[in-house]
């Protein structure tokens, strides 16, 4: 009986955790498009196609992610999360632009993957 109960609890836990998977961001379409472009620019840096300075400048030239209240708590939270992830990425690109080290590269990669996770897109 205990084995049966444990098995059922295990199955319930697996199903519950599976339901928690990321299905993409609840952010506004505009903000998702901006954040997706940030990931694309960062990928160019990570592929050594552009410098950290160029990547930072291109990201800075994009429109800012709108974090004003929409009245939808999920969308507001997702917009704020995207904004924070982009700010961290810009900070790590600034550090990489001033000092090219493997630690700075790793920080950019980790930050890029955090943003990709929020967007529900492929991580590197």
Domain parsing of the chain, residue ranges: 25-119
Q: Percent of the chain beyond pLDDT 90? A: 65
Predicted pLDDT at 8: 46
Write out pLDDT tens, residues 40-62.
999 999 999 999 999 999 999 99
Predicted pLDDT at 64: 87
Residue that the structure tokens 């790590």 belong to: 92
Residue that the structure tokens 């952010």 belong to: 27
State the Cα torsion 34-101-106-55 to the nearest 10°.
10
Question: pLDDT at residue 20 above 50?
Answer: no
Q: Percent of the chain beyond pLDDT 70? A: 81
Mean pLDDT confidence for 8-33: 62
Q: Enter the DSSP assignment of 63.
A: P
């Amino acid at each position: 009986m205990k084995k049966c109960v444990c098995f059922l609890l295990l199955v319930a836990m697996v199903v519950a955790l599976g339901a928690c998977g990321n299905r993409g961001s609840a952010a506004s379409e505009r903000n998702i498009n901006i954040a997706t472009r940030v990931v694309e620019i960062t990928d160019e840096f990570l592929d050594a196609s552009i410098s950290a300075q160029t990547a930072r400048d291109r990201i800075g030239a994009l429109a800012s992610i709108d974090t004003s209240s929409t009245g939808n708590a999920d969308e507001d939270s997702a917009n704020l999360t995207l904004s924070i992830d982009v700010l961290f990425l810009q900070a790590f690109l600034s550090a990489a632009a001033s000092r090219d080290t493997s630690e700075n590269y790793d920080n950019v990669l980790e930050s890029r993957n955090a943003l990709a996770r929020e967007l529900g897109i492929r991580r590197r």
